[in-house]
């Protein structure tokens, strides 16, 4: 039954192989249950949203502005507002985030201050979004006396996702092999030349996919926008960054608070659109990463 | 050995944090000779090599004591820009590390960043010929450098280093990742560069050191044990440790 042993003899063992094997199988089933639970709740959510939401979808629903009459209400202004806001968020958070990440990874000395900065950025990524909303309200709207505009909303969301962009960009930059930097430096490249020609291009796919994921997080945020004063009812297209604004999730929130049941269906329809958009963004992020990584 | 040194170290020591890697090394690298650094793994030969082009600067916790002189000038002096040093003192690494770009761009990069004013195409060809790679790649300069064989990649890295006209070429075990045939070609190449460049090569392969170098330095535990003409070092080692190492009783 037992295999012959080597030089050491006489020790007492109780291998209980069968019991150990069963314990392993029990644990595997526990893990399977955990996965099934997550997938099942997601499925229930999706099915319930889709069954109510899909009938609400129509060309008119996308093309019309919100209205007091459910049959005429649409999400045109919300979509345009969200799209414009995300474009602004990208324009603000991408250069700031990548710049900060480059500083931390390529320039900053390895000392206590740098470590403190890094820890703080990681913590900022975990701050509840409503806190960023309050910050936006206090600093941008009250102190800087900016209007409650698309720009204010975008700036607030940029603050919110900046830590995420920095963390994603730092990881992307750190994944660039040191041999590539060494090759550039050994030819007489300055730090900036090595970064511009080799480090950044090599890190870019991951930086982009991280930024897109951060943007999709921003696209789904509601609370901070409500706090700084998003309009829950805008029947016009945003044409400039200083226009009053709404956003798709804000519109959804608004409709779910309406007493009439028809608006719930509209909310479900808007949720389907929002989910679809976020799913597309995440797919794009994965695609970029897979396409350019060797 | 001739006395006009291109590179010279005086009491050179390097620490990584608390770990002393090399200590109190004083040696002179004469002009246009091939000098090999040998010694067991971890003896500090690569670290010593990297002092010559200030590549240890990239390791945040590396600390250097003593002096490194390049043609009598302190390489670590306040007015010295490491980027400037590295153009004059080129380097080839252990693993071939071409840029993930075309063969042409691999060589053009060093030229562009250093403000090369003549015809880049011309210089690319000359560099590839000097590294005995031209005949194999002349018809596909726009191909991805990572598609070359390991040995070709390493010769591309040598071509890339030669293109910016260094005086000194540092080679950190340039053939250790290559098969015997590719290794032979690298050694032939070093033979053809000999006399035009000052070459400092780290190698784990004693027979390679014996084949290609004029002078050999034996390092052991961060210390320079013995340094003399290669032939004399291998036939007539003075230090017991050198003898043990080259006869295979140690390392």
Residues near B193 by Cβ (< 8 Å), separated by ≥ 6? B130, B162, B169, B199
Query: Is residue A287 assigned to a domain?
Result: yes
Mean pLDDT value of segment A96-101? 96
Looking at residue A148, its pLDDT comes to: 80
Mean pLDDT value of segment B129-153? 95
Nearest CA in chain A to B53: A186
B 97-116 residues with CB < 8 A to A? 97-100, 109-110, 113-114
Please give the model's pTM, rounded to 2 decimal places.
Answer: 0.85
Of residues B61, B100, B160, nearest to A187 (C-beta): B160
Query: Is residue B242 assigned to a domain?
Result: yes
Kindly tell me if the per-residue pLDDT of A1 is higher than 70.
Answer: no
Dist. CA A50–CA A58, nearest whole Å = 14
Nearest CA in chain A to B85: A188
B 30-89 residues with CB < 8 A to A? 53, 55, 58, 60-61, 82-84, 86-87
- Is A190–B98 a contact, with Cβ atoms under 8 angstroms apart? no
| CATH number of residue A87's parent domain | 1.10.3720.10
User: pLDDT averaged over chain A?
Assistant: 88
HEC string for chain A? CCCCCCCCCCCCCCCCHHHHHHHHHHHHHHHHHHHHHHHHHHHHHHHHHHHHHHHHCCHHHHHCCCCCCHHHCCCHHHHHHHHHHHHHHHHHHHHHHHHHHHHHHHHCCCCHHHHHHHHHHHHHCCCCHHHHHHHHHHHHHHHCCCCCEHHHHHHHHHHHHHHHHHHHHHHHHHCCCHHHHHHHHHCCCCHHHHHHHHHHHHHHHHHHHHHHHHHHHHHCCCHHHHHHCCCCCCCCCCCCCCCECCCHHHHHHHHHCCCCHHHHHHHHHHHHHHHHHHHHHHHHHHHHHHHHCC
Query: Is residue B62 assigned to a domain?
Result: no
Query: Is residue B66 assigned to a domain?
Result: no
* CA angle at B40 for the pair B37 and B43, rounded to the nearest 5°: 70
Do A162 and A264 reside in the same domain of the chain?
A: yes
Do A150 and A226 reside in the same domain of the chain?
A: yes
Query: Is residue B196 assigned to a domain?
Result: yes
Query: Is residue A182 assigned to a domain?
Result: yes
Do A51 and A170 reside in the same domain of the chain?
A: no
The structure tokens listed for B106 are 């691999």
Least confident of A33-47, A95-109, A147-161, A224-238: A224-238
Would you place residue B1 in the very low, low, confident or very high pLDDT band (cuts 50, 70, 90)?
A: very low
Computed from CA positions of residues B153, B155, B158, B163, in that sequence, does the dihedral angle turn out positive or negative? negative
Looking at residue A3, its pLDDT comes to: 64
Query: Is residue A200 assigned to a domain?
Result: yes
Query: Is residue A5 assigned to a domain?
Result: no
A36/B contact by beta carbon, under 8 A: no
> Residues B90, A187: contact at Cβ < 8 Å?
yes
Do A46 and A117 reside in the same domain of the chain?
A: no
Mean pLDDT value of segment A30-45? 96
Share of chain B above pLDDT 70, in %: 98
Do A120 and A246 reside in the same domain of the chain?
A: yes
Would you place residue B245 in the very low, low, confident or very high pLDDT band (cuts 50, 70, 90)?
A: very high
**Model confidence over A248-278: pLDDT tens digits?**
888 888 888 888 778 888 888 899 999 999 9
Mean pLDDT value of segment B28-53? 94
Query: Is residue A9 assigned to a domain?
Result: no
A113/B contact by beta carbon, under 8 A: no
**Model confidence over A163-187: pLDDT tens digits?**
999 999 999 999 999 999 999 999 9
Looking at residue A2, its pLDDT comes to: 58
Give, to the nearest 10 degrees, the angle between helix A261-292 and helix A200-219.
170
Of residues A109, A187, A294, nearest to B109 (C-beta): A187
Q: Could you give the number of structural domains in chain A?
A: 2
Do A52 and A144 reside in the same domain of the chain?
A: no
Do A112 and A133 reside in the same domain of the chain?
A: yes
Do A157 and A176 reside in the same domain of the chain?
A: yes
Sheet holding B215-220, edge to edge: B89-92, B168-172, B198-202, B34-38, B215-220, B223-229
> Residues A60, A74: contact at Cβ < 8 Å?
yes
B123/A contact by beta carbon, under 8 A: no
Do A51 and A186 reside in the same domain of the chain?
A: no
Would you place residue A293 in the very low, low, confident or very high pLDDT band (cuts 50, 70, 90)?
A: low
Domain boundary among A8, A30, A56: A56
Residue from A84, A77, A137, A293 nearest A205 by CA: A293
Q: Could you give the number of structural domains in chain B?
A: 1
| CATH number of residue B194's parent domain | 3.40.50.300
Nearest CA in chain B to A110: B60
Mutate: best of A186, A192, A195, A201, partner B, most B CBs <10 A: A186
Query: Is residue B105 assigned to a domain?
Result: yes
Looking at residue B66, its pLDDT comes to: 94
> Residues A200, A181: contact at Cβ < 8 Å?
no
Do A111 and A201 reside in the same domain of the chain?
A: yes
Of residues A109, A188, A193, nearest to B164 (C-beta): A188
Q: Which long-range contacts (CB under 8 A, 24 or more apart) does B193-196 make?
A: B193/B130, B193/B162, B193/B169, B194/B32, B194/B34, B195/B32, B196/B32
Kindly tell me if the per-residue pLDDT of B197 is higher than 80.
Answer: yes
- Is B161–A182 a contact, with Cβ atoms under 8 angstroms apart? no
Looking at residue A151, its pLDDT comes to: 87
Domain around B233:
36-44+82-246
How many other CB atoms sit within 10 Å of the CB of residue A229?
18
Looking at residue B95, its pLDDT comes to: 94
Query: Is residue A115 assigned to a domain?
Result: yes
Residues of B in contact with A107 (CB under 8 A): none
Would you place residue A10 in the very low, low, confident or very high pLDDT band (cuts 50, 70, 90)?
A: confident
Looking at residue B71, its pLDDT comes to: 92
> Residues A81, A238: contact at Cβ < 8 Å?
yes
Nearest CA in chain B to A199: B99
Do A92 and A22 reside in the same domain of the chain?
A: no
Mean pLDDT value of segment B93-117? 95
Do A115 and A150 reside in the same domain of the chain?
A: yes
Looking at residue A69, its pLDDT comes to: 76
Of residues A182, A190, A294, nearest to B55 (C-beta): A182
Query: Is residue B76 assigned to a domain?
Result: no
Query: Is residue B56 assigned to a domain?
Result: no
User: pLDDT averaged over chain B?
Assistant: 93
Least confident of A233-237, B49-53, B175-179: A233-237
Domain around A78:
60-292
């Amino acid at each position: 039954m037992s295999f012959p042993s080597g030089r050491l003899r006489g020790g007492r063992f109780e291998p209980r192989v069968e019991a150990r094997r069963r314990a392993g199988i029990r644990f595997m089933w526990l893990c399977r249950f955990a996965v099934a639970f997550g997938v099942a709740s997601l499925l229930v959510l999706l099915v319930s949203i889709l069954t109510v939401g899909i009938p609400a979808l129509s060309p008119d629903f996308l093309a019309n502005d919100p209205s007091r009459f459910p049959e005429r209400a649409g999400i045109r202004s919300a979509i345009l507002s969200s799209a414009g806001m995300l474009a602004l968020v990208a324009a603000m958070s991408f250069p700031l985030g990548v710049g900060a990440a480059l500083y931390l990874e390529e320039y900053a000395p390895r000392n206590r201050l740098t470590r403190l900065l890094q820890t703080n950025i990681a913590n900022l990524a975990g701050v509840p979004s409503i806190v960023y909303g309050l910050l936006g309200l206090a600093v941008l709207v009250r102190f800087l006396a900016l209007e409650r505009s698309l720009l204010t909303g975008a700036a607030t969301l940029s603050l919110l996702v900046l830590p995420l962009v920095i963390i994603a960009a730092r990881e992307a930059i750190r994944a660039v092999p040191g041999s590539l930097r060494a090759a550039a430096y050994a030819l007489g490249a300055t730090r900036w030349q090595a970064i511009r020609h080799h480090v950044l291009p090599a890190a870019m796919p991951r930086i982009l996919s991280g930024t897109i994921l951060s943007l999709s997080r921003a696209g789904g945020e509601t609370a901070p926008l409500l706090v700084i004063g998003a309009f829950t009812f805008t029947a016009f297209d945003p044409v400039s960054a200083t226009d009053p604004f709404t956003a798709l999730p804000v519109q959804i929130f608004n409709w779910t608070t309406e007493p009439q049941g028809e608006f719930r269906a509209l909310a479900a329809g808007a949720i389907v659109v929002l989910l679809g958009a976020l799913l597309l963004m995440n797919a794009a992020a994965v695609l970029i990463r897979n396409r350019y990584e060797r | 050995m001739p006395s006009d040194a291109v590179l010279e170290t005086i009491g050179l020591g390097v620490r990584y944090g608390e770990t002393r890697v090399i200590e109190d090394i004083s040696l002179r690298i004469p002009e246009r000779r091939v000098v090999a650094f040998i010694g067991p793994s971890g003896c500090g030969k690569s670290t010593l090599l990297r002092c010559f082009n200030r590549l240890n600067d990239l390791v945040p916790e590396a600390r250097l004591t003593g002096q490194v002189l390049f043609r009598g000038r302190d390489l670590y002096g306040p007015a010295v820009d490491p980027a400037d040093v590295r153009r004059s003192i080129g380097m080839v690494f252990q693993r071939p590390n071409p840029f993930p770009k075309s063969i042409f761009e691999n060589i053009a990069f060093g030229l562009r960043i250093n403000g090369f004013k003549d015809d880049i195409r011309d210089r690319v060809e000359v560099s590839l010929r000097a590294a005995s790679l031209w005949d194999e790649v002349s018809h596909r300069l726009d191909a991805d450098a990572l598609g070359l064989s390991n040995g070709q990649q390493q010769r591309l890295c040598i071509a890339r280093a030669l293109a910016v006209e260094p005086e000194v070429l540092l080679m950190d075990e340039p053939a250790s990742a290559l098969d015997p045939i590719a290794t032979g070609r690298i050694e032939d190449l070093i033979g053809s560069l000999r006399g035009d460049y000052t070459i400092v090569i780290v190698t784990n392969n004693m027979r390679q050191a014996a084949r290609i170098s004029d002078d050999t330095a034996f390092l052991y535990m961060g210390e320079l044990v013995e340094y003399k003409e290669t032939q004399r070092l291998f036939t007539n080692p003075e230090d017991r440790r050198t003898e043990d190492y080259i006869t295979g009783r140690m390392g």
